[in-house]
Chain A
Amino acid sequence: MKVTVEFMGPIRRPWPEQSKEIELPDGSKVSALFSELGFTEVESRSINVLRDGLRLRPFSHLIDGERIVLMVPAGGG
């Protein structure tokens, strides 16, 4: 399956592009995406994954062809 990943906020980006399509095994969950992108367990906990503005959980299944946003809030002010 293919998922397009977009980044928002002060998140460690594994590539310079704003978004990228990545290949995952069929039926992958959000947690699989985290490991595919090389995020550690601790990092993953602070990353919010949004599908069309709705937050997914680590156990949520991804949908083939969808576009999701990986987002970390900015804390400074």
Chain B
Amino acid sequence: MSIDRYARQRRLFGDEGQSRIMRSSVLVIGAGALGSTVSSLLVRAGVGRLRICDDDVISLHNLPRQLLYDEDDLSDEIKASEWFSDWRNIGIEEEGDIGIFFNRLDWENDCPVHGAQSCKLRRYIRKLTEIIDEHKEWTWDGSSSDTTLPAMQIPPEPDESDELDEQPDELTYSYHWVERKPMNNVSRIKKIQIAADKLRRMNRDCYVEPYAVKVSEQNFSSLAHGMDLIIDCTDDLPFRQTLNRLCVLSGKPWIYGGVNGSLAMVAAFSGSGKPCFSCAFGEEASKQEPPQVLNAAPALCASYQSAIALKALAFQKLESVLWTCDPWSGITSTVKLRPDPDCPICGIRKEGEGVSP
């Protein structure tokens, strides 16, 4: 008997639907918060070919929302760039703004921020700060790029045994990361390489094509070539206007997703190009400041995008629906979108074809 990894899905999509999914090609634009979840769900569901584009690198502040990446991915990258190669950049803030950092904190090779959750490390850090207190000349105020410090005696790390049953001692110091400029001549790993590695591990049958590029009008037609569906996982509104225009012109169906705070918003546009993004949203979309984001919002948004993507691939039907959900307020709403006869984007083709309005 052969093992069918898609047995549960076949009950939903049917054999034909599952086969269509497995023959399909999807372009995911962006490998951030939305792209992480969209690509994972599609690859796991058995999409035949997933092309994913992003030219960004992984930062520490991506981790709360971008589910494809974890601390292991940071280590190589950030050891080489955002903080020092051997955790030298842990700062200890004492009565104000003066950051003291020590030369080497080689503590189980672990990330000190993570480890500091335990009383063991809290006490350890406190012990270190006491030592540093005795060496005020090592105080670093952030102005110098010279990171070489005199050697200091690091006490042995405390016993594993006294970790659990003790409450943490009252902390007299707070500690924080000292921001460092990336070091020279270290090339930073593109997010997309890590994303592709992880996605390939999820499903060997999916052909994953990573592109470390920003999608633009110039490269769109080659990136969209051969793709059945495009999923927008970007984070700026003017780009969606551009993407809409390109999708209308090339007759590609696409799924918009956006988040703000705890709110997720999704809209789907079929290959007919009518209605299009501009029919619903106009063309005034200005660049928004990066909004505050609850990490559940992009996960929710991406789940909805993936669900309608799989439905579209399996049943070849993509309804033009605008959906929002805000779990914070508990409000969910859905609006069926209609083509705007005066839309300057999807109306262009109509005029070109000489059809009277």
Contact = CB atoms under 8 A, between A and B. Distances in A.
Contact of A71 (B237, B257, B322): B322
Interface in A23-77: 45-46, 48, 50, 52-55, 69, 71, 73-77
B284 A74 contact: no
Nearest to B339: A54
B259 interface: yes
Given A10-B291, A46-B285, A46-B286, A77 B233 contact: yes
B243 to A, nearest CB: 12
A55 B278 CA distance: 9
Interface residues of A, number: 20
A74 B340 contact: no
Nearest to A18: B331
A20 B291 CA distance: 27
Contact of B338 (A9, A45, A53, A74): A53
Nearest to B291: A76
B32 A74 contact: no
Given A54-B340, A69-B335, A74 B280 contact: no
B260 A48 contact: no
A76 B335 contact: no
A45 to B, nearest CB: 5
B280 A76 contact: no
A8 B335 contact: yes
Nearest to B288: A75
B259 A74 contact: yes
Q: DSSP class of B's interface residues: helix, strand, loop or mixed?
A: mixed
Given A9-B324, A76-B235, A77-B298, A48 B280 contact: yes
Contacts of A45: 284
Interface string B282-295: 10111110110100
A63 to B, nearest CB: 16
Contacts of B338: 52-54
Contacts of A54: 279, 338, 340
Given A6-B333, A8-B324, A9-B263, A75 B280 contact: no
Which of A18, A46, A52, A77 has the most chain B CB atoms closer than 10 A to its own CB? A77
Given A50-B280, A76-B258, A77-B298, 11 more contacts: A9-B265, A48-B281, A48-B282, A50-B337, A52-B336, A69-B335, A71-B280, A73-B258, A73-B281, A75-B260, A76-B235
Interface of A: 6, 8-10, 18, 45-46, 48, 50, 52-55, 69, 71, 73-77
5 contacts: A53-B275, A73-B240, A73-B265, A75-B237, A77-B33
